[in-house]
């Protein structure tokens, strides 16, 4: 496990954790990660049953019903 720390807005730290040097623990590809809404990737990766795939859809479905409340800034 490797970590790389940077400073983000407000002088806060952010740490990236990576596992590229460990067999079987590579991160998801950038293509997959850039495609938001990839809810089924995890279930497919692990080869688990249909139940996982069904449940993984639920959050996305709920989100689409949420009224937009963006305030123009990324905040947590």
Partner 1 sequence: MSELRWNPLLGEWVATATHRQDRTFLPPKDFCPLCPTAPGGFPTEIPEPTYDIVAFENRFPSLQPEPPPPAVEGDDLYPVEPARGVCEVVVYTPKHSSTLAAEPVEQIYKLVRVWADRFRALSAHDFVKYVFIFENKGEAIGVTLHHPHGQIYAYPFVPPRVARELEQSLSHRERTGRCLVCDIVEEERRDARRVVAENASFVAYVPFFARYPYEVHVAPTRHLQALTDMTDAEQRDLAAAIKQTIAAYDRLFDLSFPYMMVLHQRPSDGGDYAHYHFHVEFYPPLRTATKLKYLAGSESGAGVFINDTLAEEKAKELRSRVEPVVWAGGRR
Give the tokens for residue 26.
């590579």
Rounded (5°) CA angle 10-66-56: 90
Stretch 39-58 residues interacting with partner 1 (CB under 8 A):
39-43, 45-49, 51-52, 54-56, 58
Continuous H helices in the chain: 30-34, 41-46, 50-64
Size of the site for partner 1 (CB under 8 A): 57
Is 23 an interacting residue with respect to partner 1 (CB under 8 A)? yes
Residue with tokens 């996305």: 60
CB of 50 to partner 1, least distance (A): 10
Nearest partner of 39 among 71, 61, 11, judged by Cα: 61
Give residues in contact with partner 1 (CB under 8 A).
Answer: 1, 3, 6, 8-10, 12-19, 23-25, 27-28, 30, 32-34, 36-43, 45-49, 51-52, 54-56, 58-60, 62-63, 66-76
């Amino acid at each position: 496990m490797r970590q790389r720390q940077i400073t983000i807005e407000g002088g806060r730290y952010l740490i990236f954790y990576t596992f590229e040097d460990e067999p079987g623990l590579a991160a998801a590809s950038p293509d997959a990660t850039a495609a938001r809404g990839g809810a089924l990737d995890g279930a497919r990766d692990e080869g688990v049953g249909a139940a996982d795939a069904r449940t993984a859809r639920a959050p996305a479905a709920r989100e689409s019903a949420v009224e937009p409340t963006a305030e123009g800034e990324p905040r947590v």
